[in-house]
Amino acid sequence: MKKKTVFSIFWVCFFAHTAFAQDFVLQAGNVIDVEAGRVIKNQSIVISNGRIVEIGNNVTVPEGAEQIDLRHATVMPGLMDAHTHMALSTVDSRDFGRYYFTSLLEPTAFRAIQGVANSRAMLESGFTTIRDVGNNAYYADVALRRAITDGWIPGPHMLTAGRIIAPFGGQFTLQPEKQDLAEPEYFFADTKDEILKAVRQNIHFGATVIKLVVNGQKYIYSEEDVRLAVEEAKKVGIKVAAHATTDASARNAILGGAASIEHGWLLSDEILTLMKEKNVYLVGTDFPLGSYYAITEENYQVIIDRLKRAYKIGTPIAFGTDVVYYKEGKTRGTATLDFLQSFEDAGIPPLETLRMMTLNTAKLLGVDGDRGAIKVGLRADLIAVTGEPHKDLQAALKRVEFVMKSGEIYKKDGRFQWETPTKIGH
């Protein structure tokens, strides 16, 4: 057989999965338009080759398309979480969020396996895109993303940060005798050369977002430090997420060009207004009461007050949670949905919250041209729920009965469905 013929057969087989992907027509009782903030009744969504090709109440049904009856349900874009840690699951209350036990006792391979369970749970709860912002030992997040992309395991689309870049100590308080305890959780970088090297190494090993800890010690990254990382990452089209909880650190991150402020619990109206002016997103990790050991009633009110003020000012807000803990009776996905209580307590309307969980987060992640809304040409990342999400989002998202990612069904009739792969790397 000639080499050209063999080559042609190879490419026909390689693209067979895409070329002959199942077409679908979803018959929806309601569809949520997150861009306009409205509910549209009795719509059908036609999906071909993993993308939305038609929406309406009188669509053309492709030959051989599978029709799925969701007339009892509401269809909405797949959910997104911009602040996750799939390979971190603290179970020991003595750790107090400092990850000492995790760093000492759990190797990268074990944490990657935790990530397999956590990412599946996120997809089952309706999250089709997540941004993982570090605490993954030696690039467990990158390995997890590759396994999902190649079809070995089910999970959301992922952006991955690799190792968190921070001034010496990261978010730890170290002993002089055990200065390496914070590695590999953090990549210590204090000089300009070290910052450049850390950004480049992360990119080399597969990071698709850069995470900086701007504050966490008495010394913080300057505006120039942040800008150096931002400019280096920008060369390959990557954004920077900045852990910043105070005005001083957030100002440096904003003026340095960071795309998002992670946490930002203590931010003033001045800084929230500056974020609006610079189009810097707040990823507030708004912990609900009872979710984590440190969230007292007093702390919760601080979080809710900041969330109310940010929403009133018009600061861009993307949904992000920071769930790093194991809680009995909860999966990583259901624990993530608990954060909706904070948005409800802050008085944010359900459809606004849903926009933050979809389109807003897609814009922050730079994927809004690909997903984040129900629109012709976008990827078919869709979920369906019963109830009335435009009135009670929290209740509805506890009843996710259908999940589709890239035109493939992962949950139907309330049951997760995924088979051991027979084709890898598509």
Quote the pLDDT of residue 76.
98
Quote the pLDDT of residue 97.
55
Question: Could you write out the three-class secondary structure of 147-167?
Answer: HHHCCCCCCCEEEECCCEEEC
d(CA 196, CA 231): 10
**307-356 pLDDT tens trace:** 999 999 999 999 999 999 888 899 999 999 999 999 999 999 999 999 99
Count of beta carbons in the 10 Å neighbourhood of residue 376: 12
* pLDDT of residue 11 exceeding 90: no
Q: What is the CATH number of the domain that holds 409?
A: 2.30.40.10
In a domain, 204, yes or no: yes
- Please give the mean pLDDT across all residues of the chain: 92
Q: How many domains does the chain have?
A: 2
- 349 preceded by a cis bond (ω within 30 of 0): no
In a domain, 421, yes or no: no
**Residue 146 half-sphere exposure toward CB, CA atoms < 13 A:** 10
Q: Are 155 and 62 within one domain?
A: no
Better-scored residue on pLDDT, 169 or 116: 116
Share of the chain above pLDDT 70, in %: 91
* Those residues with Cβ within 8 angstroms of residue 65's Cβ, 6 or more apart along the chain or in another chain: 22, 23, 24, 25, 46, 48
Torsion angle, alpha carbons of 327, 130, 391, 269, to 10: 90
In a domain, 2, yes or no: no
**353-372 pLDDT tens trace:** 999 999 999 999 999 999 99
AA letter at 60? T
Q: What is the CATH number of the domain that holds 345?
A: 3.20.20.140
| Structural domain range at position 100 | 79-365
In a domain, 426, yes or no: no
Q: Are 406 and 270 within one domain?
A: no
**17-27 pLDDT tens trace:** 344 479 999 99
Of the candidates 47, 53, 50, 49, the residue with the CA atom closest to the CA atom of residue 19? 49
* pLDDT of residue 198 exceeding 70: yes
Over residues 287-304, the mean pLDDT reads: 88
Over residues 113-120, the mean pLDDT reads: 97
Over residues 284-300, the mean pLDDT reads: 88
Q: Are 298 and 187 within one domain?
A: yes
AA letter at 268? S
* pLDDT of residue 40 exceeding 90: yes
Q: Are 314 and 170 within one domain?
A: yes
Q: Are 132 and 260 within one domain?
A: yes
Q: Are 72 and 113 within one domain?
A: no
Q: Are 134 and 267 within one domain?
A: yes
Q: Are 57 and 178 within one domain?
A: no
Quote the pLDDT of residue 3.
42
In a domain, 39, yes or no: yes
Q: Are 119 and 191 within one domain?
A: yes
Q: Which two tokens stand for residue 344?
A: 């409800």
The answer to whether the predicted template modeling score (pTM) of the entire model surpasses 0.85 is yes
AA letter at 298? E
Residue 294, CA distances (Å) to 129, 255, 319 in order: 28, 30, 21
* pLDDT of residue 412 exceeding 90: yes
d(CA 99, CA 213): 16
In a domain, 372, yes or no: no
Of the candidates 329, 320, 299, 332, the residue with the CA atom closest to the CA atom of residue 362? 320
Q: Are 288 and 150 within one domain?
A: yes
Burial of 178 (0-12, 13-18, 19+ CB in 10 A): exposed
Quote the pLDDT of residue 100.
67
In a domain, 192, yes or no: yes
**Gap between the terminal Cα atoms of the chain:** 26
Q: Are 42 and 148 within one domain?
A: no
DSSP per-residue string spanning 100-134: HHHHHH--HHHHHHHHHHHHHHHHHTTEEEEEE-S
Q: Are 23 and 97 within one domain?
A: no
Residue 93 binned pLDDT confidence (cut-offs 50, 70, 90): low
